[in-house]
Structure 1
Amino acid sequence: MEDDNNNKIVQDEPGESYEFKYNFVNTPWDDRTLKSKVGIVTLLIAIFTATMACVIHNLITHFDRSSHHLSEETNCNLVKVDEYKYVARIHLVETQELLCVGAVLSLTSVLANSVCTKSGPIRMRLGSPSDPRCKKGFSVDVLEPVNYEGVLSKLVLLSSYENMAECVQTAIKVGNSVNWKSQAYIIGRPLRGGRSLSRQPANLVDLESQNPGFSLRNPNIKETICVMDLGKCPVRAGDLLVQNGYLIGLASTSNHAMDQSKLACFADIRVVRKGLNNIDSDIISEK
């Protein structure tokens, strides 16, 4: 009957069997040929060597960078914060990282590069870092943009609702003139935060009468001051350019790797004196 045929169990044909076959991966070690064993050992050595090479390369790169940064800081002339009491230190609230420096222009105002305000909430530390009243710093509650048409930088005036007067021991005056033949100094942020600042001499470049051998993207010469013949100490955004005790420039951008001309450019503070006074009448300029 058909039902009997459909219910029959199909049996394997006599002599048919399934044999498990080993391959290169699952063959037991004792069953491998000498050539196979040598191949596996060689492969493992190659993998171990490549892994160690990557680890060593990463370690060398890390220490090279650390050594380079240490070398840069060694070449920076460091001075104590107390020697330049008109320099504000701008810190990131979350990590306490020193982002940049600014110029204390009055009992209530600090001039800074706008890039220093874009990483998150910040605090300004003024006065001596050893003074417990000033160690905590001050919140930035008011941020006033300064009318400046330079293409390299935007300037902002920072102030706080807290009383900063007790920590503002001195303010710097805004310069009205520049002596292109006289040396200026750059006061800036060191590589590592702390109780020091970087200080380096710089020779001014009169862009209107000289060709420094570089090009700026649509430079507004009348609102830019450039310096050259800098050493290995990097310039960072917001660093102060000072001549004869007056503030004449604020660094436009960070310049870690100097080019062959060893040149850096600053926003010319002279052209915004009137705008600064409109915001804060207590800001004093050179007569």
Structure 2
Amino acid sequence: MEDNNNKIADDNDKAEEFEFNFINIPWDDRTKFSKIGIIALLAAICLAIIGGVLNNFILHYKSFYKNTQQTHELICRIVKIEAYPFVARIHLASTQQLLCLGAVISSSSVIANGVCVKSGPIRLGLGSPSNQLCKKGFTVDLVDPIRHDGAISNTLVILTTMEKMSSCSSTIKISEHVDFISKAYILGRPLLADRVTKTLSRQPATLLSADEITNISLIPFKNLKKSSMICVKDLSNCPVRAGDLLIQDDEVLGLASTSVHRTDLSNMACFADLNVVRPELTELL
């Protein structure tokens, strides 16, 4: 029994001696090998900490860079409104909120999506806001609805003013024929529209042929007539909103049928074909 107690005591002494030698022994009393071991251990700990910090920094930088790229993908190309004098900005009269866009098709008339007049009395913004002749906008004296089965509201509208618009705008022709080979582009409201809109968004688009439109499932447009629409593909993530203009060869093809704030997996959007209502427009203008 005594032998066992002595053995346990010896083991405890050895443990205490080892713990003392490894941790608490003064630096000057350590052997050269012990000093090298301690330095190596500290260096390893420092390198591990530095490695962890660098790794986190690199991961954060990659994430930031990726997010920056994604953000840039969401930003549309911005163009000055002066470059497109045929574009009318339709504002809510009470708050000057920019509701949607329209196309100037005569010296006194603008064609727009029917949803643009649902919110209340409106005013037309034309030309540069810095131009004193154009700054205050134009009143809408007459609204003529036109039935259109390719528009989300099933209606387009002709907005007529008795004021002189020619000093602030130019007209654009409605295209009679669609060139499915040539590129088209979409003019839309800027992402951050305010009361004094000085820019528009612009993005290219590839037109779908009539056969392609027939074969695709237009879930967001299930109540609309496909033959009265023009659809485009290969869009970026730039939003397409109701009333945006589809342009080709300096002629207007259509007005966006509905809002697509971020295009779906098909990268597709559809527009009310303006050529469908050409006879009605001829009677009104």
Between structures 1 and 2, the one with greater helix share: 2
Residues of 1 paired with 2:171 and 2:73: CA distance?
Answer: 27
Residues of 1 paired with 2:151 and 2:123: CA distance?
Answer: 27
Q: Secondary structure at the match of 1:267?
A: strand
Q: 1:147 Cα shift? A: 3.3
Q: 1:78 Cα shift? A: 0.5
Q: Describe the superposition over 1:1-49 as per-residue Cα deviations: whole angstroms up to 9, x where unpaired.
A: xxxxxxxxxxxxxxxxxxxxxxxxxxxxxxxxxxxxxxxxxxxxxxxxx
Distance 1:139 1:73, change over 3 A: farther
1:197 is aligned to 2:176 = no
Q: 2:255 aligns with which of 242, 250, 256?
A: 250
1:162 is aligned to 2:167 = no
Residue 28 of structure 1: aligned partner: none
Residue 55 of structure 2: aligned partner: none
Residues of 1 paired with 2:151 and 2:254: CA distance?
Answer: 14
Please say if residues 235 and 256 of structure 1, whose CA atoms lie closer than 8 Å, have aligned partners that are also in contact. Answer: yes
Q: Which amino acid aligns with 2:167?
A: E
Q: Which amino acid aligns with 2:233?
A: M
Please identify, of 148-157 and 180-189, the stretch whose mean Cα deviation from structure 2 is larger: 148-157
Larger Rg: 2
Q: Which amino acid aligns with 2:157?
A: V
Residue 275 of structure 1: aligned partner: 280
TM-score by length of 1: 0.69
Distance 1:120 1:270, change over 3 A: same
Residue 91 of structure 1: aligned partner: 91
Residue 217 of structure 1: aligned partner: 222
Residues of 2 paired with 1:209 and 1:231: CA distance?
Answer: 20
Q: Secondary structure at the match of 1:234?
A: coil
Residue 186 of structure 1: aligned partner: 186
Q: Secondary structure at the match of 1:82?
A: helix
Question: What percent of counterpart residues are identical?
Answer: 50
Please say if residues 150 and 257 of structure 2, whose CA atoms lie closer than 8 Å, have aligned partners that are also in contact. Answer: no
Unaligned runs of 5+ in 1: 1-66, 281-287
Q: Secondary structure at the match of 2:82?
A: helix
Q: 2:234 aligns with which of 229, 234, 241?
A: 229
Q: 1:138 Cα shift? A: 0.7
Residue 239 of structure 1: aligned partner: 244
Q: Secondary structure at the match of 1:119?
A: coil
Q: Which amino acid aligns with 2:160?
A: S
Please say if residues 149 and 224 of structure 2, whose CA atoms lie closer than 8 Å, have aligned partners that are also in contact. Answer: no
Q: Secondary structure at the match of 2:116?
A: helix
Q: Which amino acid aligns with 1:126?
A: L
Q: 1:209 Cα shift? A: 4.5
Q: 1:277 Cα shift? A: 1.2
Root mean square deviation, CA, Å: 2.2
Please identify, of 263-272 and 147-156, the stretch whose mean Cα deviation from structure 2 is larger: 147-156
Residue 103 of structure 1: aligned partner: 103
Please say if residues 72 and 234 of structure 1, whose CA atoms lie closer than 8 Å, have aligned partners that are also in contact. Answer: no
Please say if residues 102 and 244 of structure 2, whose CA atoms lie closer than 8 Å, have aligned partners that are also in contact. Answer: yes
Residue 113 of structure 1: aligned partner: 113
TM-score by length of 2: 0.69
Please say if residues 79 and 200 of structure 2, whose CA atoms lie closer than 8 Å, have aligned partners that are also in contact. Answer: yes
Q: Which amino acid aligns with 1:122?
A: I
Residues of 2 paired with 1:182 and 1:212: CA distance?
Answer: 21
Q: 1:148 Cα shift? A: 2.1
Residue 14 of structure 1: aligned partner: none
Residues of 2 paired with 1:250 and 1:162: CA distance?
Answer: 24
Distance 1:94 1:221, change over 3 A: same
Q: 1:221 Cα shift? A: 2.3
Residues of 2 paired with 1:240 and 1:152: CA distance?
Answer: 15
Q: Which amino acid aligns with 1:84?
A: Y
